[in-house]
Amino acid sequence: MFGVTSTPSLTIAKLANANIGFLGIGTTEPKELVHINDGNLMLTNTNSSTKNVIQMGEGYLSWIIERLNSQVDGNGLNFSVDRTLSTGPGERGGTSVLFLDSDAKVGVGTKNPTTKLDVAGGLKARNAEITQTLTANSATIPHLIGTTIADELKVDGIIEGKDAYFNGIMKAKEVLVTLTGWPDYVFCKDYKLLPLQELEKFVNENQHLPNVPSAATVEEKGVELGEMNALLLKKIEELTLYILDLQKQIDELKNR
């Protein structure tokens, strides 16, 4: 036992079942190889290029916690795992797993986070709440986003998912909708085009085109993008048939 007063401040004790001394600071009964009681552990350096390192394990697959303070290595606390087989004494070749930036940014797989959370790779979550903007090269949503409602989603690549709910704007350079059935059957010879008189009667009574949802229905249930595009194409093709038929009648009148 060592102390500056009558109370021991440093103790080296050998437990009954141990073959090595346990170091106790502030305690006379250390429970681990190093046991600090009612105190803290501080690592400092006088040279800015010197790293404060805590290493768990040796060589391959050992874990390293180090304080970095340079433009090259980053500025913050780095958690890494050593995946090199050639690491020698005093050498550390860790792959950064988690980085806590001195500007309160968190990097996963990167030591240079540019936002509050910067993930260099995929991000998977059971539930996530996004109150402002989500920007991603690609996003995969295997199931419902759940309670997640994004005010704004910006994706430069592909969104894959089952269902997604947004409370604002979804911006994308391109949207691909896959569906079966396309209304080219309108141009088949056996397609029965609704007579214009019946079409006029339907519009007067319902204030919308046949098979097209009403304003009230759209307001209540929304619009399915792929289905609506197919329906609009069908109406364009029917309109084309009406125009062709009218042109024939005009030509017949001209030839009389």
Q: How confident is the model at residue 194 (pLDDT cuts 50, 70, 90)?
A: very high
131 and 101 share one domain: no
249 and 195 share one domain: yes
Q: What is the mean pLDDT of the chain?
A: 82
189 and 246 share one domain: yes
105 and 146 share one domain: no
Contact 63, 73 (CB under 8 A): no
Q: What is the pLDDT of residues 200-254, one digit of tens each?
A: 999 999 999 999 999 999 999 988 888 999 999 999 999 999 999 999 999 999 9
195 and 249 share one domain: yes
Domain boundary residue, one of 176, 192, 212? 176
15 and 67 share one domain: no
31 and 67 share one domain: no
- Of residues 128 and 17, the one with the higher pLDDT is 17
Q: Which helix (H) or strand (E) holds 216?
A: helix 215-221
60 and 75 share one domain: yes
Q: What is the pLDDT of residues 100-145, one digit of tens each?
A: 998 899 999 888 888 888 888 877 777 777 776 666 666 666 654 5
114 and 127 share one domain: no
Task: Give the domain extent around 164.
Answer: 122-176
25 and 87 share one domain: no
User: How many domains are contained in the chain?
Assistant: 4
pLDDT value at residue 112? 86
Distances (CA, A) of 35 to 39, 40, 47, 155: 10, 11, 28, 50
Distances (CA, A) of 28 to 171, 204, 252: 64, 95, 113
